[in-house]
Amino acid sequence: MTEIKHRSVPVNGITLNIAEAGEGPLVVLLHGFPESSYSYRHQLTALAEAGYHAVAPDQRGYPRSEHPASVDDYSILHLVGDVVGLIGALGAPDAVVVGHDWGSPVAWNTALFRPDLVRGVVSLSVPFQPRGDIAPLDGVRAAFGEKFYQIYFQEPGVAEKELEGDTAAMFTKMFYWYSGDSPQVQNLITDENGMTGSLALPEELPSWFTAEDIAAYTAEFGEEGFTGALNWYRNIDRNWELTTAWAGARITVPAMFLGGAKDPVVNWFDPATLELAMSPAVENLASFGLVEGAGHWIQQERPDETNAALIAFARSVDR
C-alpha cells in the first residue's frame, strides 16, 4: 500500500502541512469545508500509483496549518497565492489543480489568475461561477433568505459555538445528511439550532464513512477549532470586490467537473443544463459527469469513480 507522508512547507508567508504520495507530474488536491487533507486519502494513493506526485495541503486556517489572526488574511487572493506558492515550493513547473467544495473556487481562480501554472483544473461539486453584477451575499439573501448557511457563517462566534460543541456528532450529521445516503437533498437553510443541530443522528453510518473517519476529523479540529475555516466565508463579498479586474474573464485551460446527482450544491443549479450553462465561461470543459446516487462528499463517497476520472483527466493533459 502506498504510504501517505506529511510535512510542513513554508508557503506565501505562512506554513502549510501537506499530505503527499508518489512521484511524477504534480497534482494538487484542495479540500473543502469542514474537511482537511484527510478527505483525499483515497485519491492520494490512487494518483501516486498512477505515476503522479499527489499533494493535498491542509489549507490556511485548517488543522495542522497556520491560522492567520485577521479575517482579511483569508481572501481569494491569499488562497490562490498559497497554491501558487506551493507549486513553486515543490519545484514543479505546473500542476493539475483539483478542488472540492471551497477548494473548487480556489482551483477555478488559480486557473483564472495563473493559467501558466495550471495544466488542467478539476472541480468536484462546485461549478465555475463567473463574477456577477451584485455582491454574492446579496444574491443568496434574495434567493434563499437570511437563514441561508453562508449568512449564518458571517457573525464571528455564532457558527463556532455550534461546530465546536459536540464536534463528533456534528461531523456525523454533516457527512450523512449532505451525502447521497440521505433520504432527501438538503436545502442548506439553517434554523434556531444552526446548520446541523436539528438533524437526527443516523441509526448507522454509511459504508464509506466510518467511526475512524469521524474520530480523525474530530481530533483534527478539536485542538484548533473552526474560526480559520469560517473566515473563508467571511471574505465572500470582499472576494467579489477584489476580483473586479477579472469580470468577464474565462477559464481557458482544460477543465473537468464531477459532481453527485444528489449534491445540494449541484442542485442549486439545474443539473440537466449545468454542463451547457458552464460552457460559455469554461472554454475547454473536457470532462463533465454527474454520479447518480452520490452526494456532496463525492471523493469520499465514490472514490473509485472519482479516482478513475481524475487519472484519466490528468493523463489527458500530461505534457
- As averages over each run of 10 residues, the pLDDT of the chain (319 residues) reads 94 98 98 98 98 98 97 98 98 98 98 98 97 96 96 97 96 98 94 96 96 97 95 98 97 98 94 94 97 98 98 96
**Residue 175 is which amino acid?**
F
Exposure string over 97-116, b if 16+ CB within 10 A, otherwise e: bbbbbbbbbbbbbbbbbbee
Predicted pLDDT of residue 69? 95
Q: How much is the pTM?
A: 0.98
Predicted pLDDT of residue 129? 93
- Of the residues 101, 181, 213, 263, only one is catalytic, namely 101
**What CATH number labels 5-316?**
3.40.50.1820
Predicted pLDDT of residue 223? 85
Hey, what's the cell of 189?
437553510
- Of the residues 31, 78, 100, 296, only one is catalytic, namely 296
Annotation marks residue 53 as catalytic: no
Annotation marks residue 78 as catalytic: no
Residues in Cβ contact with 202 at an 8 Å cutoff, skipping those fewer than 6 apart: 172, 173, 176, 177, 181
The domain ranges of the chain are 5-316
